[in-house]
């Protein structure tokens, strides 16, 4: 028994000494030599402006037979009326879920599922977005759907009500996560409780939103000359430009000046706040 304990002690001592030796024998990170980094090859970006004012950026990438796209629009929840906070978010959701005048949202879902494509639309606090992911042979379908719902959204009442239910559910759960509470209140402290950057949807503001509000909000902000589209993937640039001109060409350019927002004052007082 003593021999066994002595063997364990000896082994532990040897391991400890080996560990100490390895630690003290290590080189400083300042003495480590690294191989040179490979040069970064930036892709060629082609920039063009469609006749209707839409800015398009294109990058060819033939590694996979896919085409991806991301659009940004100059719209956001900061432009919600103070008594209808949540209007932008609901508008963005129903543009996609409600489909277009020609095709319902359910029909669009089915068409996209059949080819494994994705088309999404949404509006955040300071910008709107649309995304496309599709196999290259179905780009005409995916971009056609995107152009259709952006220009001719149907805004059916049932999808509007569903979006409002989702907003009410989010309001009911928003205090479940302490970090979400902290960030919400921190935003109010930084910008002020009445700032467009800090306002939050409430049950009352959601209840005031009507279909007419969605139609007016869309008509105010959704214009091709208020959008930038980035496309990358397996395509030929000239062919893609021609395709985009054909699909988005009917979306008419209109005079547009983005509304101004209150100036943010970047001077703050130090304080401790309890929530």
Is the pLDDT at 240 greater than 80? The verdict is yes
Tell me the mean pLDDT in the region 29-47: 88
Q: What is the CATH number of domain 60-163+203-248?
A: 3.30.830.10
Q: For residue range 170-183, list pLDDT tens digits in order.
A: 999 999 999 999 99
Is the pLDDT at 25 greater than 70? The verdict is no
Domain range annotation of the chain: 60-163+203-248
Decide: 75 and 226 in contact? Cβ < 8 Å.
yes
Residue 74 burial (CB count, 10 A): 18
What span, in angstroms and rounded, lies between the C-alpha atoms of 91 and 97? 10
Tell me the percentage of the chain whose pLDDT exceeds 90: 75
Is the pLDDT at 37 greater than 70? The verdict is yes
C-alpha dihedral sign at 220, 224, 226, 228: positive
- Residue 243 zone, left/alpha/beta (φ > 0; ψ -120 to 50; rest): alpha
Q: Tell me the H-state helices in 37-156.
A: 87-97, 105-115, 139-151
What is the reported pLDDT for 268?
Answer: 73
pLDDT band at 257 (very low <50, low <70, confident <90, very high): confident
What is the reported pLDDT for 250?
Answer: 93
Question: How many residues in total does the chain contain?
Answer: 275
């Amino acid at each position: 028994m003593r021999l066994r304990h002595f063997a364990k002690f000896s082994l532990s001592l040897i391991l400890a000494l080996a560990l100490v030796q390895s630690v003290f024998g290590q080189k400083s990170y300042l003495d480590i030599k690294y191989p040179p980094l490979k040069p970064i090859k930036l892709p060629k970006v082609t920039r063009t402006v469609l006749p209707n004012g839409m800015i398009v950026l294109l990058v060819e990438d033939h590694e996979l037979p896919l085409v991806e796209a991301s659009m940004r629009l100059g719209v956001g929840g900061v432009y919600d009326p103070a008594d209808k906070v949540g209007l932008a978010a609901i508008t963005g959701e129903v543009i996609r879920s409600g489909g277009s005048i020609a095709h319902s949202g359910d029909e669009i879902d089915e068409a996209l599922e059949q080819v494994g494509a994705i088309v999404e639309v949404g509006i955040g606090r300071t910008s709107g977005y649309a995304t496309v992911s599709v196999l290259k042979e179905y780009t005409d379908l995916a971009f056609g759907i995107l152009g259709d719902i952006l220009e001719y959204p149907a805004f059916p009442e049932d999808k509007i009500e569903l979006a409002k239910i989702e907003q009410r559910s989010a309001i009911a759960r928003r205090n479940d996560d302490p970090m979400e509470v902290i960030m919400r209140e921190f935003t109010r402290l930084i910008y002020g409780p009445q700032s467009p950057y800090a306002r939050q949807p409430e049950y009352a503001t959601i209840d005031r939103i009507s279909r007419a509000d969605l139609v007016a909000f869309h008509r105010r902000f959704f214009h091709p000359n208020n959008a930038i589209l980035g496309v990358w993937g397996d395509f030929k640039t000239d062919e893609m430009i021609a395709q985009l001109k054909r699909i988005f060409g009917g979306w008419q350019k209109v005079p547009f000046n983005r509304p101004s927002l209150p100036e943010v004052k970047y001077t703050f007082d130090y304080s401790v706040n309890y929530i």
